[in-house]
Amino acid sequence: MNISPFFFYGFGGIAIACALLVILGKSPVSSAFSLVMVFFSFAGIYALLDAHLIAALQIFVYAGAIMVLFIFVIMLLNADVPTFDLGRTHLGIRIVAGSISLATLLIFIWAFKETPLTAPVAQFTPENIEAAGGNTQVVSELMFSEYLLPFELTSVLLLAAIIGAVAIAKRKLAAGRS
């Protein structure tokens, strides 16, 4: 794929380092801020892959909304005590988890490397997308034509999630009233 190796390996290195910091960090707040760096690196890689709308959504939704939720809950619960929960996990579980992950990862890398590249199945070449008005316009037109039904179902899902989140978080209040 015709993308700049310098930026790909730069963003990729930052993402892997920060992802390791997320799972090995002592305090939840440092994990959360490492996660923000991972999200920004991913946005950079999306932009390298010409997925400009996804890159913008990544920053708005993940680095914006979801991280605010995480930080807000950490602050609300006052849960930022450095936990040594990593050390409390049984050593055998840690070794088994690490080796299973590593083995499966190697199988995945081997499969990705050995599988021959499939021919393109559609005609969204960079030139065609450029001629049709850019990535955002092409994705938006698809969203409101071919993918209209899933798009509308998404709004039902979001409504259900809003009601569910309020019902779960306010459970005590509802119980007190009845």
Partner 1 sequence: MNVEPWVVLSFCAIIFFIGFTGVLIRRNILVILMSIELMLNAVNLTFVTFSRQLQHMGGQMSVFFVITVAAAESAVGLGLVIAMFRTLRSVDTDQIQFLKE
Q: Which of 31, 37, 59, 134 touches partner 1 by CB under 8 A?
A: 31
For partner 1, the closer of residues 2 and 178 by Cβ is 2
Q: Cα–Cα distances in Å, from 157 out to 150, 153, 168?
A: 10, 6, 16
Site for partner 1 in 139-158 (CB under 8 A): 139, 142-143, 147, 150, 154, 157-158
Structural tokens at position 124? 């969204």
* Shortest CB 147 distance to partner 1, Å: 5
Q: Cα–Cα distances in Å, from 152 out to 66, 87, 141, 149?
A: 22, 46, 14, 5
* Shortest CB 131 distance to partner 1, Å: 14
Q: Which of 75, 83, 131, 174 touches partner 1 by CB under 8 A?
A: 83
Does residue 131 interact with partner 1 by CB under 8 A? no
* Shortest CB 12 distance to partner 1, Å: 5
Does residue 176 interact with partner 1 by CB under 8 A? no
Question: Residue 29: which residues within 8 A CB-CB, separation 6 or more?
Answer: 71, 74, 80
3-state secondary structure 8-63: HHHHHHHHHHHHHHHHHCCCHHHHHHHHHHHHHHHHHHHHHCCCHHHHHHHHHHHH
Site for partner 1 in 49-78 (CB under 8 A): 49-51, 53-54, 57-58, 61-62, 65-66, 69-70, 73-74, 76-77
Does residue 45 interact with partner 1 by CB under 8 A? yes
Which one-letter DSSP state was computed for residue 80? Answer: -
Does residue 98 interact with partner 1 by CB under 8 A? yes
